C-alpha cells in the first residue's frame, strides 16, 4: 500500500522487502528514500517556518518644559479703554455759513489756534450799525448836557420854572443810560464778530472735521473734537474686593493728602501684547460701586509724549497686588482642564509618561502657578500632549515659548 504525503509532512514509504530478490537492490532503494527524506525536510523547513519581522515603532516626539521655582509678582488685571484727558468739542458760538477750514485733520493743534472761519460779513455790518447807534446816543447825551448847563443858572434866578431844569436833568440821565446800552451793544456785536473765527480750546490732536465748507452752522453744531492726549486717560473697572486693596491710597489722593501721580503703579498691556514703556497713576475712583455688576469705575493716566496712545484704544491695566514666594511655574499650555479638574503630563528621567492631577493658582504671563502636584526640576509636556499615553515612552526636546527665536 502506498500513502500520498500530506502538505508539509514527510511520509516515507518502503516497499515490502519480499518484493525484491537482491539485497543489494534493497540497500540502494533505501538510500534513495533517505535522500528524498532530506530534500523534503529542507523544503518543509523553508516553507512552513516563515517568520514575520515587524520593526518596532519609534516613540513619539514631544516638547517639554521644566518646572521653575521662583518669586512671582501677583497682578490685578482688567480691560481698559483709553480716552483723551480732555475732549473739547469745537462749536461755533454764532450762526452763519462756514467759509474756511484752517487746520489739517489728525494733526496737533494748540490752544487759541484758528480751526474754522464763519462768514463775518453780517457781523461786520451789525457792528457798523451798533457804532452808529452809539454815536446817536452820545450826540443826544451831549445835547442834554448843554440843556442842563444852560438852564441851571436860569432856574436859580427863577427865570425858568424849576420843573424845566428837572426835566433837563432827567433827560441827561436817560441819555447816559442810552449811551451805556449802545456801548454794550457795540461790545456784543464786536464779540460776535470775533466768534466767527473758531479756535481750539486746548492743546491736542484735532479730529476729522464734521462740518463742510458752505454748511449753515450754529452753537449746536459740532465742527470737530480736539483731544488732549498727553497725558492720556485709561478707564477700567475693578471688583469691590480688588478696590479694597487700593482703597487707602485712593482715598489719600481724593482727600488731598497725597498728590495725584505721586505713585506710578499701573502698567498698560497693549492689544499686541507689548507692555507700554511708561507706568501710570490712579487719577480717580467713581463715587459709588455699581450695584448691578459689583464693580467700581476707575481712571488712570499715562504720559504720552509721542502721541502713540490714542483715544478709543483697548488694552489691559494691571497693578502688582503682592508676591508669591517660591512659586512653581509651568507653561499655561501644559495644563489640561477636564470638567473643572486640572492635570499635567510629567516625563520622568527614563522618558516615561505619567498623567498627574494638580492644583492651580494665579496665571502669570504665559505661565501658571501650580500649588500642588509637581516638584521643582520636573519636566512637563508643553506641546504634543495628545501623543502621550499613561506609561508610554517619548522622545523629548526643549519647549520654546511663543516670541522666542530658535
CA distance 234 to 252: 20
Q: What is the pLDDT of residue 404?
A: 54
Domain assignment of residue 333, yes or no: yes
Better-scored residue on pLDDT, 275 or 45: 275
In sequence order, the 6+-apart residues with CB closer than 8 A to the CB of 126 are: 189, 192, 193
Dihedral class, residue 340 (left if φ above 0, else alpha if ψ from -120 to 50, else beta): left
The CA-based angle 287-290-295, given to 5 degrees, is 95
Cell of 76: 490685578
Tell which of 272, 292, 322 closes a domain: 322
In sequence order, the 6+-apart residues with CB closer than 8 A to the CB of 259 are: 253
Number of domains the chain is built from: 5
Q: Are residues 232 and 184 in the same domain?
A: no
Q: What is the pLDDT of residues 40-97, one digit of tens each?
A: 666 555 554 444 444 567 889 999 999 999 988 887 888 999 999 999 999 999 999 9
Find where cell 443858572 sits.
153
Nearest to 345 by CA among 381, 376, 318: 381
pLDDT band for position 186 (cuts 50, 70, 90): very high
Per-residue b/e over 112-151, b at no fewer than 16 CB within 10 Å?
eeebbbbbbebbeebbeebbebbeebeebbeebeebbeeb
pLDDT of 151 strictly over 90: no
Q: What is the pLDDT of residues 283-321, one digit of tens each?
A: 888 989 998 999 999 999 999 998 899 999 999 998 887
Q: What is the pLDDT of residue 165?
A: 87
Q: Are residues 103 and 29 in the same domain?
A: no
Tell which of 280, 300, 322 closes a domain: 322
CA distance 256 to 250: 10
Q: Are residues 239 and 317 in the same domain?
A: yes
CATH (domain of 171): 1.10.287
The radius of gyration of the chain from alpha carbons, rounded to an integer in Å, stands at 50
Q: Are residues 189 and 216 in the same domain?
A: no
Look up the domain containing 183 and give its range.
120-195
CA distance 368 to 68: 11
Domain assignment of residue 55, yes or no: no
Q: Are residues 103 and 168 in the same domain?
A: no
Q: Are residues 318 and 334 in the same domain?
A: no
Q: Are residues 175 and 207 in the same domain?
A: no
Terminal-residue alpha carbon distance, the chain: 83
Domain assignment of residue 261, yes or no: yes
Amino acid at each position: 500500500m502506498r500513502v500520498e504525503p500530506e502538505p508539509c509532512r514527510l511520509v516515507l514509504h518502503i516497499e515490502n522487502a519480499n518484493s525484491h530478490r537482491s539485497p543489494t537492490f534493497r540497500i540502494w532503494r533505501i538510500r534513495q528514500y533517505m535522500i528524498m527524506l532530506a530534500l523534503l525536510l529542507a523544503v518543509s523547513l523553508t516553507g512552513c517556518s516563515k517568520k514575520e519581522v515587524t520593526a518596532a515603532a519609534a516613540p513619539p516626539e514631544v516638547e517639554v518644559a521644566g518646572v521653575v521655582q521662583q518669586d512671582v509678582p501677583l497682578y490685578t488685571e482688567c480691560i481698559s479703554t483709553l480716552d483723551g484727558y480732555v475732549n473739547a468739542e469745537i462749536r461755533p458760538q454764532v450762526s452763519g455759513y462756514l467759509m474756511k477750514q484752517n487746520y489739517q485733520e489728525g494733526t496737533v493743534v494748540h490752544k487759541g489756534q484758528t480751526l474754522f472761519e464763519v462768514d463775518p460779513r453780517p457781523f461786520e455790518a451789525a457792528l457798523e450799525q451798533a457804532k452808529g447807534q452809539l454815536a446817536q446816543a452820545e450826540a443826544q447825551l451831549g445835547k442834554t448836557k448843554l440843556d442842563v448847563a444852560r438852564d441851571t443858572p436860569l432856574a436859580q434866578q427863577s427865570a425858568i420854572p424849576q420843573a424845566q431844569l428837572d426835566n433837563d436833568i432827567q433827560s441827561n440821565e436817560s441819555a447816559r443810560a442810552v449811551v451805556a446800552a449802545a456801548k454794550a451793544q457795540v461790545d456784543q456785536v464786536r464779540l460776535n464778530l470775533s466768534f466767527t473765527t473758531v479756535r481750539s480750546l486746548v492743546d491736542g490732536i484735532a479730529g476729522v472735521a464734521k462740518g463742510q465748507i458752505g454748511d449753515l452752522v450754529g452753537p449746536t453744531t459740532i465742527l470737530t473734537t480736539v483731544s488732549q492726549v498727553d497725558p492720556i486717560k485709561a478707564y477700567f473697572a475693578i471688583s469691590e474686593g480688588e478696590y479694597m486693596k487700593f482703597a487707602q491710597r485712593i482715598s489719600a489722593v481724593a482727600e488731598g493728602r497725597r498728590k495725584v501721580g505721586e505713585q506710578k503703579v499701573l502698567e498698560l498691556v497693549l492689544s499686541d501684547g507689548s507692555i507700554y514703556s511708561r507706568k501710570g497713576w490712579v487719577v480717580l475712583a467713581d463715587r459709588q460701586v455699581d450695584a448691578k455688576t459689583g464693580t467700581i469705575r476707575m481712571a488712570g493716566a499715562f504720559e504720552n509724549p509721542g502721541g502713540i496712545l490714542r483715544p478709543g484704544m483697548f488694552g489691559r491695566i494691571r497693578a502688582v497686588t503682592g508676591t508669591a514666594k517660591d512659586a512653581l511655574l509651568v507653561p499655561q499650555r501644559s495644563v489640561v482642564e477636564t470638567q473643572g479638574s486640572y492635570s499635567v503630563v510629567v516625563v520622568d528621567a527614563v522618558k516615561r509618561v505619567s498623567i498627574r492631577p494638580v492644583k492651580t493658582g494665579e496665571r502669570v504671563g504665559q505661565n501658571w502657578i501650580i500649588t500642588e502636584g509637581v516638584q521643582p526640576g520636573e519636566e512637563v509636556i508643553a506641546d504634543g500632549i495628545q501623543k502621550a499615553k499613561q506609561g508610554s515612552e517619548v522622545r523629548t526636546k526643549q519647549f520654546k515659548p511663543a516670541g522666542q527665536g530658535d
